Amino acid sequence: MKDAAPQTIYLKDYTPFGFTVEKVELTFRLAPTATRVTSRIRFAPNPAATDRTFFLHGEELKLIRAAIDGAEVTPDVTPQGLTCPVPDAPFDWEAEVEIAPEDNTALEGLYMSRGMYCTQCEAEGFRKITYYPDRPDVMAVFSVRIESDLPVLLSNGNPGDTGAGWAEWHDPWPKPAYLFALVAGDLRAHSDRFTTRSGRAVDLNLWVRPGDEGKCAWGMEALKKSMRWDEDVYGREYDLDVFNIVAVDDFNMGAMENKGLNIFNSSAVLASPETSTDANFERIEAIIAHEYFHNWTGNRITCRDWFQLCLKEGLTVFRDSQFTSDLRSAPVKRIGDVIDLRARQFPEDQGPLSHPVRPESFQEINNFYTATVYEKGAEVIGMLKRLVGDDAYARALDLYFERHDGQACTIEDWLRVFEDTTGRDLAQFKRWYSQAGTPRLSVEESYADATYTLTFRQHTPPTPGQDEKLPQVLPIAVGLLNPNGDEVVPTTLLEMTEAEQSFSFPNLPARPVASILRGFSAPVVLERDASREENLFLLAHDTDPFNRWEASRALAVASLMNMLSDPARGPDGAWLDALLDVIRDSALDPAYRALLLGLPSESELAQRLYEAGTTPDPEAIHAAAEKHRQARAELWQAQLPALAEEARVDAPFSPDAAQAGKRALGGAVLAMQSRVDGGKAASAQFDAADNMTAQLSALTSLITAGAADDALAAFEAQWRHDRLVMDKWFGVQIAFAPPHDAVDVTRRLTEHPDFDWKNPNRFRACLGALAMNHAGFHRADGAAYDLLADWLIRLDAKNPQTTARMCTAFQSWKRYDAARQEKMRAALGRLRDQPGLSRDTSEMVARLLG
Ligand code: PHE
Ligand code: ZN
């Protein structure tokens, strides 16, 4: 329902709830359209609160009865919750409500996914299950009884008694309601065991639908690796007798860290070599780790309110990226994270949706599970660690866990443990949490009297609601190279705090070449007029693998920009020669070489043009990128077979980093080969493929070569029974379609009998892929905007959360020409004017239109 006037909630208005909850007992009698939930909750007046209004959240609930200390009461019920007079002393609240999980298409609260019951409560879904103070600072011990004929009945914590048609669970750790979970279904377990370092034996289960048992081994291994890693690196042990993970086909997000009962989108946990790519394996390993790590950073220590979301998300993303770096290659992980940050967080922070890592207001909290809160939130922690050093970081984290275990905390609490361990004043650093926008960092160099000086200037452009920005603390990692390529000054951390600041390096007999912002030490846009020669030098010599890659990226951007301003031009030959030397260096990790073969995305080029004051033309950008790829493939044609040979994997399939790196290099080489052999090599690889990485890279190469018809039909015939693989089949056809075809391909595929638009994975596979096809989405006649808007209107009535997230496809509308802007605004306007539009989507559209 559309609220008459959407309410804005402010961080500054926080007040504690008037009551504490001592315990919660829930009973579920499951039925698809009439589930009964009874609750018995022990409340007591909260001495820390002044306002004693007894308000319980509750939405879309049918209240059957309510009682206080055994006496029936008749509360005042509104669409948002209920109020009721209560005693001025501890009391027992009882209520019975009825809900209809089968009708719940929003996938929030208790819902059904292909015959199985499951819940999603973060952020505010518990209020769709029963009346409760649904806020993260109310923490309580939960006991749950589930009644159902389904064979597997799960909830949080440790298992209790069971009988025919019922099971009981008890979670001894106090938790907020958003971490509640329940699952019931006909499920099979893939089981294992883990012994914590203090000797606690933990039963591990990964629960899946019958038929998916063969896709569990990888997730289970990832879980055990995560449990060991968190003990080794953060000293954090698991704290229950069981850890359950459930795979669910219909899920709005990746996964959810419910205490002792993580619920996963099946795409984020199920894997097998035949059905999953190396990228899938790596992502699954990272998400399993992420959700597991939340047990300490999120669950044992939670958030006081939803403005503090980055407290758990930024930290947990940071921890999972450390885990992946330790298990795989740190530079490859770092480069991948920066590519992702630039593709998702930078456009968000530089457009109408920009908000601080800790927002100060919201209408719908679901709209703030963003790249800024997650990924920029993690970058901020990386900077903090760089500034205080590894040892101080470790001591601060120990103090954080010791001081705040069992509490609902704020960013102030988080920063204070760093101040207390280091004696540093973090007041200025805290601006990273309150100022939105991507800082731009420009640099000038001078050399005189054997002293080399770098002068930096920082400036953050205005963002919605924040016109003036103050200087932020920027950790700038710098190394200096001699003209002969030796490193004369190893990586040094410069700490910039002023708007303009100089740093000098004395005693340098020759003017050095600077490698600036090594490892991407701060999430800024570095504006540096490095010459082509300097970038070529850094590509050849930089000892920092990130900046070596970055130098090539700068050359790629420059080359493409030149091709755009003069369509008669070809790619920069000197750069391609230098790049080829690096690519052929067998001493380098194949995964790293594969990254060097990547080009900046068309969307990133559009953003760079826009920043340089030129209106981007999506078709021209696409044409330049294609011309570049074609020219490169032709130029390197003779070297491709040797590279392909180097990338060959002879051993049986393993998703480890070494093999995956080879396949990544092989995939990049195959894409080049297909441009010169009409798809012959790709066809052969497709026919011989015994793993999804090889099969899918062959398929995408064939699509770009325009020779994929047979392969697409064969792929569909082979995989039509497998939903996750079919998501790939839908997605690649749209993402890799030639721009002028993308809309038609999407239209045709949305008419396919397997296009189940209510399934978020399938919806995203199609409409999300359309938005990713930059030139296809920005077709001049606006047909893609209209098609997406039509589908968003349709989905909003069923699933506001996924709809609102997908509105971000329009977030960069200001980059483009007036005609396209007009068409995007019209599409958004059509959404805005839709009667009954959800609060989620209304807020997004309003922010987008500004
Ligand atoms: N808290 C989840 C995570 O990051 C994400 C999530 C948010 C899932 C909201 C579902 C709903 O791990
Ligand atoms: Zn998370």
The CATH number linked to 109 is 2.60.40.1730
Q: State the ipTM, two decimals.
A: 0.99
H or E, element range at 568: none
pLDDT (tens digit per residue) in 569-610: 999 999 999 999 999 999 999 999 999 999 999 999 999 999
For residue 2, what pLDDT is reported? 41
Ligand 1 atom nearest to CA at 123: 9
Residue 704 dihedral angles phi and psi, to the nearest 5°: -65, -30
Amino acid at 30: L
> What is the domain-level CATH number for residue 734?
1.25.50.10
Percent of the chain surpassing pLDDT 70: 99
Q: Is residue 44 one of the residues assigned to a domain?
A: yes
| Residue pLDDT, tens place only, 702-714 | 999 999 999 999 9
CA angle 131, 134, 137 (to 5 degrees): 140
Does residue 240 share a domain with residue 135?
A: yes
Residues 157 and 272 in one domain: yes
pLDDT in tens, 727-764: 999 999 999 999 999 999 999 999 999 999 999 999 99
The full DSSP string for 501-567 is EEEEE---SS--EEEESGGG-SSSEEE----HHHHHHHHHH-SSHHHHHHHHHHHHHHHHHHHHH-T
Same domain, 821 and 730: yes
Query: 341 and 279 in one domain?
Result: no
Residue 610 domain flag: no
- Are 804 and 831 in contact by the 8 Å Cβ rule? The answer is no
Structural domain contains residue 637:
no
Mutation to probe ligand 1, out of 256, 311, 366, 805 (largest number of atoms < 8 A from CB)? 256
pLDDT in the model for residue 150: 98
Task: Report the amino acid identity of residue 92.
Answer: D
Same domain assignment for residues 287 and 349: no
Domain C-terminal end among 242, 277, 293? 293
CATH value at residue 473: 2.60.40.1840
- 739 domain residue, yes or no: yes
Mean pLDDT over 159-165 rounds to: 98
- The two three-digit tokens of residue 601, written as one number: 């995305």
Is residue 231 part of the annotated active site? The answer reads no
Alpha-carbon span 162 to 759, nearest angstrom: 33
Tell me the per-residue pLDDT of 66-86, one tens digit each, with 9 for 90 and over: 999 999 999 999 999 999 999
207 in Cβ contact with 223 (< 8 Å): no
Q: Is 600 helix (H, G, I), strand (E, B) or coil?
A: coil
221 lies in some domain: yes
Rounded (10°) angle between helices 680-688 and 709-719: 10
- pLDDT bucket at 1, cuts 50 / 70 / 90: very low
Question: Which ligand is located closest to the Cα atom of residue 364?
Answer: 1
The encoded tokens of residue 590 equal: 């194949």
* 122 within ligand 1 shell (Cβ under 6 A): yes
Average of pLDDT values for 439-467?
A: 98
Spatial separation of the C-alpha atoms in residues 351 and 850, rounded to whole Å: 10
| DSSP strand pairing (440-448 vs 525-527) | parallel
- Which residue, of 526, 554, 585, is where some domain finishes? 526
- Average of per-residue pLDDT values in the chain: 98
Give me the residue label for tokens 């920027």. 474
Q: Assess whether the C-beta atom of 369 lies below 6 angstroms from ligand 1.
A: yes
Of 511, 526, 541, the domain-final residue: 526
Same domain as 351, residue 205? no
Kindly indicate the confidence band of residue 13, based on its pLDDT and cuts at 50, 70 and 90.
Answer: very high
Q: Say yes or no: 346 and 280 in one domain.
A: no
577, part of any domain: no
Structural domain total, the chain: 3
605, 621 in Cβ contact below 8 A?
Answer: yes
Residue among 111, 180, 246, 257 whose CB has most ligand 1 atoms within 8 A, to mutate: 257
In this structure, what are the phi and psi dihedrals at residue 738, rounded to the nearest 5 degrees? -60, 140
Report the separation in Å between the CA atom of 224 and the middle of ligand 1, taken as the mean of its atom positions: 21
Instruction: Read off the pLDDT band of 547 (50, 70, 90).
Output: very high
Bridge partners of 91?
43
Looking at residue 6, its pLDDT comes to: 79
Q: Compute, in angstroms, the gap from residue 618 CA to the centroid of ligand 2.
A: 34
Domain span holding position 755:
720-850
Report the separation in Å between the CA atom of 291 and the middle of ligand 1, taken as the mean of its atom positions.
9
377 and 425 together in one domain:
yes
The pairing of beta strand 81-83 with beta strand 55-57: antiparallel
Specify whether 27 is located in the same domain as 81.
Answer: yes
**Phi and psi angles of residue 834, each rounded to the nearest 5 degrees, phi first:** -70, 125
Which residue's C-alpha comes closest to atom 3 of ligand 1? 256
Q: Is 550 in the pocket of ligand 1 (CB under 6 A)?
A: no
Q: Which residues contact 388 (CB under 8 A, 6 or more apart)?
A: 396, 418, 421, 422, 424
Burial of 401 (0-12, 13-18, 19+ CB in 10 A): middle
Cα(first)–Cα(last) distance of the chain, in Å? 23
Mutate to test the pocket of ligand 1, among 107, 128, 253 (most ligand atoms within 8 A of CB): 253
Residue 112: helix, strand or coil by DSSP? strand
**435 and 348 in a common domain:** yes
Nearest CA residue ID for atom 2, ligand 1: 256
Q: How far is the C-alpha of 700 from the C-alpha of 729, rounded, in Å?
A: 10
What's the whole-number mean pLDDT along residues 627-651?
97
* Strand-pair partners of 474: 496
Separation of alpha carbons 267 and 215, rounded Å: 11
Q: Average pLDDT for residues 541-555, to the nearest whole number? A: 98
State the Cα–Cα distance between residues 809 and 130, nearest whole angstrom.
35
Q: Which among 291, 348, 364, 379 is annotated as catalytic? A: 291
Query: Is the bond leading into 591 cis (omega within 30 degrees of zero)?
Result: no
Beta-bridge partners for 479: 515
Q: Whose CA is nearest to atom 12 of ligand 1?
A: 256
- Do 414 and 281 belong together in one domain? no
How far is ligand 2, taken at its centre, from the CA of residue 310, in Å? 9
In which band, very low, low, confident or very high, does the pLDDT at 4 lie, cut at 50, 70 and 90?
Answer: low
Any idea of the CA torsion for 806, 839, 134, 301, to the nearest 10 degrees? 40
Spatial separation of the C-alpha atoms in residues 728 and 374, rounded to whole Å: 25
Q: pLDDT tens, 238-288? A: 999 999 999 999 999 999 999 999 999 999 999 999 999 999 999 999 999
Mean pLDDT over 665-692 rounds to: 98
Give mean pLDDT, residues 778-789. 98
Within a domain: 650: no
282 and 158, same domain (yes or no): yes
- Is residue 360 a part of any domain in this protein? yes
